[in-house]
Amino acid sequence: MRLQVARIGKPHGIRGEVTVQVMTDAPEERFVPGQVLDVEPESAGPLTVARARWNKEILLLGFEEVKDRNGAEALRGSQLFVETDEEEPVDDDAWYAHELVGLAAVVEGQAIGTVSGLRRGDAQDLLEIELTGGGDVLVPFVEEIVPEVDLEAEQVILTPPAGLLELNQPEDPEAGR
β strands within 35-167, DSSP E: 36-40, 47-55, 58-63, 79-83, 104-107, 110-119, 126-131, 136-140, 148-150, 155-158
Measured from the Cβ of residue 158, the count of other Cβ atoms closer than 10 Å reads: 20
10-14, 86-90, 123-127, 149-153 — which is least confidently predicted?
A: 86-90
Query: Rounded CA gap, 99 and 143, in Å?
Result: 17
Say if CB 79 and CB 39 are below 8 A apart: yes
Of the pLDDT bands very low, low, confident and very high (cuts 50, 70, 90), residue 177 is very low
Average pLDDT over residues 40-60: 87
Q: pLDDT at residue 122 above 70?
A: no
Of the pLDDT bands very low, low, confident and very high (cuts 50, 70, 90), residue 68 is very high
Q: pLDDT at residue 45 above 80?
A: no
- Provide φ and ψ at 30, rounded to 5°: -85, -30
Task: Please tell me the pTM assigned to this model.
Answer: 0.55
Say if CB 164 and CB 137 are below 8 A apart: yes
- The domains of the chain are located at 2-83, 97-166
Structurally, at CATH architecture level, domain 97-166 sits in Roll (2.30)
Average pLDDT over residues 10-21: 91
* Percent of the chain at pLDDT exceeding 90: 26
Query: Rounded CA gap, 117 and 129, in Å?
Result: 7
Fold of the domain spanning 2-83: Elongation Factor Tu (Ef-tu); domain 3 (2.40.30)
Average pLDDT over residues 3-13: 87
Q: pLDDT at residue 23 above 70?
A: yes
